[in-house]
Amino acid sequence: MKTRKKLSANGLFKGMKASFRKVKEHRKGGVKIALADTLMAGLAMFSLKESSLLAFDEQREEPENLHTVYGIEQIPCDTQMRTILDEVEPESLRPVYKDVFRELQRGKELERYQIMGKYYLLSLDGTGYFASKKVHCENCLVKKLKNGETLYHHQMLGAAIVHPELKTVVPLMPEPIIKQDGETKNDCERNAAKRFFEKLRQDHPRLPLIVTEDALSSNAPHIGALKKHNLRFILGVKESDHAFLFEQVAQAQKEGRSIEHEFTKNGVTHRFHFVNQVPLNASNPDVLVNFLEYWEISDKKEQYFSWITDFIIERHNVYTIMWAGRARWKIENETFNTLKNQGYQFEHNFGHGKNNLSVVFALLMILAFLVDQVQQMACPLFQATLAKVGSKKRLWEKMRSLFFSLHFKCMEDIWRALLYGYKISGFVILDGT
């Protein structure tokens, strides 16, 4: 079975190693282990779904597959990895994400993610991945608990290209929510979003995007930031947080300025109510948005959702806008939950360090997740192997079993062994008696 040269595990690992070689070396003088090897070792740890840095360190006793599959020439021990990666600037990993995205564009794999003609749907949300009352660094967010104790924690603003009908997502470089240089106050999701949009447009200046987020984002400053960077939006709203907006919608309905639309298909009723050009809130009456609320009604349950958007809502596009708004959950379900519950150990502390280690590990983990997502969307060999095995959890278990017991030239050989089967010849038990 053929594979896509640059969108298979082999091509992705080779490309990432080349990108890692471009990361600036922060150590002075002679170095025993190259920075690119150390970064690749970190990536391999998450690619192999190791439970801890110590567990990965134990595999150094059988290093052949780390050499051949991941292209790591010199393998750092756990202490070396922590020390070296702690000084890596997180932003230096941004080109790695861009390079993978570029290959997806060249391979025309992103075209299936387009909606409403030309747009890509970008789901954003914040999440936490580290918390401790003892372990901390200069970048940690600090929270005083009611019992007087101090909680140190890390968060990030995650972002992924999603599509309502596709299970795979394309994660972009997330924005760490950490104390910024020279600041004493905690960072926040809103400030992280401003930085994210700036960097997003530096990386992808002309990419047509629709940003979808939760109700916390439906405020005038955030909408202003979206418009500044030529980003369309579909944002959640809640009546409890946006009372003025809902009052304006109710008034429009009373005056006959809103539109209701309903149809039933396969036993499910889809009910829409929308109105265009209503003020967001009393403080910003000049910020006009288009409002949509939606009910999904079946014999089993009834669900309700509401959004604001900068798209003019009409009967012909109302279903698509609803469809896109509901896809926001994919950043949580297909991204964060996968990282937490399907082998990546997102919330495990692999090492915190004094400077950047926690953030760098998180970025390498998401790169490993990106490799797996790209294989799932673009590599026929991976797709066939996953279909045969039945689940990713079982696939990772079988992959690890082969990786740590037999020698392979590349990851694709492991997938072929799992897909077509394999034979071990000359197996001999060495008896010391």
pLDDT value at position 222?
Answer: 97
Beta strands in 145-267 (DSSP E): 150-162, 170-171, 175-177, 209-213, 232-236, 259-265
Q: Are 131 and 143 in contact (CB under 8 A)?
A: no
| Cβ-proximal residues to 310 (8 Å cutoff; 6+ apart), any chain | 227, 232, 233, 289, 290
**Dist CA 85 CA 92 (whole Å):** 12
pLDDT value at position 59?
Answer: 82
End-to-end CA distance of the chain: 46
Question: Which range (206-220, 242-256, 275-289, 330-344) has the least confidence?
Answer: 330-344
In a 3-state reduction of DSSP, which class is residue 399? helix
State mean pLDDT over 310-336. 96
Q: Are 123 and 159 in contact (CB under 8 A)?
A: yes
pLDDT value at position 425?
Answer: 76
Annotate 121-165 with DSSP letters as a single string. EEEEEEEEEEEESS---TT-EEEE-TTS-EEEEEEEEEEEEE-TT
pLDDT value at position 28?
Answer: 87
pLDDT value at position 387?
Answer: 98
The model's confidence at residue 107, banded by pLDDT at 50, 70 and 90, is very high
Q: CA torsion, points 61, 62, 67, 69, in degrees to nearest 10?
A: -140
**Dist CA 401 CA 414 (whole Å):** 10
**Dist CA 227 CA 377 (whole Å):** 31
**From its phi and psi, is residue 423 left (phi > 0), alpha (psi between -120 and 50) or beta?**
beta
Q: Pick 296 or 4 by higher pLDDT.
A: 296
**Dist CA 380 CA 140 (whole Å):** 42
State mean pLDDT over 264-271. 95
**Dist CA 378 CA 108 (whole Å):** 10
| Percent of the chain with pLDDT strictly greater than 70 | 97
Q: Pick 187 or 197 by higher pLDDT.
A: 197
pLDDT value at position 398?
Answer: 97
pTM, to two decimals: 0.94
Give me the residue label for tokens 């924005």: 175
State mean pLDDT over 354-367. 96
Separation of CA 75 from chain center: 27
**Dist CA 50 CA 285 (whole Å):** 53
CATH level 2 (architecture), domain 109-347: Alpha-Beta Complex (3.90)
> Residue 424 above 90 pLDDT?
no
Q: Tokens in use for 99? A: 């390079």
Domain segments of the chain: what residues?
A: 1-75+354-433, 109-347
State mean pLDDT over 313-319. 97
**Dist CA 130 CA 176 (whole Å):** 12
The model's confidence at residue 186, banded by pLDDT at 50, 70 and 90, is confident
CA-nearest of 95, 31, 101, 39 to 71 is: 39
> Residue 230 above 70 pLDDT?
yes
pLDDT value at position 432?
Answer: 57
pLDDT value at position 5?
Answer: 84
**Dist CA 214 CA 57 (whole Å):** 40
> Residue 175 above 90 pLDDT?
yes
pLDDT mean across residues, the chain: 94
The model's confidence at residue 1, banded by pLDDT at 50, 70 and 90, is low
* pLDDT tens digits along 238-264: 999 999 999 999 999 999 999 999 999
Give me the residue label for tokens 């003892």: 134
The model's confidence at residue 126, banded by pLDDT at 50, 70 and 90, is very high
pLDDT value at position 183?
Answer: 64
> Residue 184 above 90 pLDDT?
no
CA-nearest of 304, 306, 320 to 278 is: 306
* pLDDT tens digits along 54-77: 999 988 877 899 999 999 999 999
In a 3-state reduction of DSSP, which class is residue 367? helix
* pLDDT tens digits along 9-68: 999 999 999 999 999 999 988 889 999 999 999 999 999 999 999 999 988 877 899 999
